[in-house]
């Protein structure tokens, strides 16, 4: 233990300290899918959820963005490798964290179509449309990937 001005600190040269936050930052700084996947498994939800301090809110937001970025890279890799069921689970985890991510909704639609589940793709489109309308008062842009996928389903 080290004592400073009205604080105590652990002397890290004498004690090995390992905590999830350091490991999460270490894993998300890497671009290998295996390590990013490990990082997504390590994330347990919003950091200090009940705290409204400026420092914790800022860190909470930063951690969530790192988590979403890691999830997106792992999901995209699974999708690129034809593991559509795995990718679908990962994209849904993204939406559970941030439901307004239109790109994740489109990715869910792509995976559903790849799995020959047209009804689920259509349902996802309608869920996105309702969410955007309820939360933001907006409709899906006709130029968006989600609208394009929806039209593709209707035309086939």
Q: Are residues 35 and 58 in the same domain?
A: yes
132 found inside a domain? yes
Task: Work out the average pLDDT over 15-28.
Answer: 66
Q: How far apart, in whole angstroms, are the C-alpha atoms of residue 14 and residue 133? A: 56
Q: How many domains, in total, are found in the chain? A: 2
Q: Are residues 80 and 129 in the same domain?
A: no
Q: Are residues 71 and 131 in the same domain?
A: no
4 found inside a domain? no
> Could you tell me which of 107, 109, 127, 115 has the C-alpha nearest to residue 85?
115
23 vs 118, which has greater pLDDT? 118
In 7-115 the beta strands, taken as DSSP E runs, fall at 7-9
Segment 109-120, tens digit of pLDDT: 999 999 999 999
Q: Confidence band (pLDDT; 50, 70, 90) for 56?
A: low
Domain-terminating residue out of 34, 57, 88 = 88
93 found inside a domain? no
Domain-terminating residue out of 46, 63, 88 = 88
Q: State the chain's mean pLDDT as an integer.
A: 84
Q: Are residues 113 and 80 in the same domain?
A: no
Q: What is the model's pLDDT at position 66?
A: 84
Residue 77 pLDDT exceeds 80 = yes
Domain-terminating residue out of 88, 120, 144 = 88
Q: Which domain holds residue 125?
A: 99-156
Q: What is the pTM of this model?
A: 0.79
């Amino acid at each position: 233990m080290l004592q400073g001005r009205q604080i105590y600190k652990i002397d890290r040269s004498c004690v090995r300290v390992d905590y999830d936050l350091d490991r999460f930052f270490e894993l998300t700084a890497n671009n290998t899918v295996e390590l990013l996947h490990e990082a997504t498994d390590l994330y347990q939800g919003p950091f200090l959820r009940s705290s409204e301090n400026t420092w914790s809110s800022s860190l909470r937001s930063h951690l969530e963005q790192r988590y979403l970025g890691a999830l997106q890279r792992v999901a995209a890799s699974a999708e690129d490798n034809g593991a559509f069921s795995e990718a679908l689970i990962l994209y849904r985890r993204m939406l559970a964290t941030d439901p307004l991510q239109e790109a994740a909704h489109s990715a869910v639609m792509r995976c559903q179509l790849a799995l020959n589940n047209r009804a689920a793709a259509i349902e996802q489109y309608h869920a996105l449309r309702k969410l955007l309308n309820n939360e933001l008062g907006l409709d899906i842009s006709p130029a968006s990937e989600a609208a394009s996928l929806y039209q593709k389903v209707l035309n086939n």
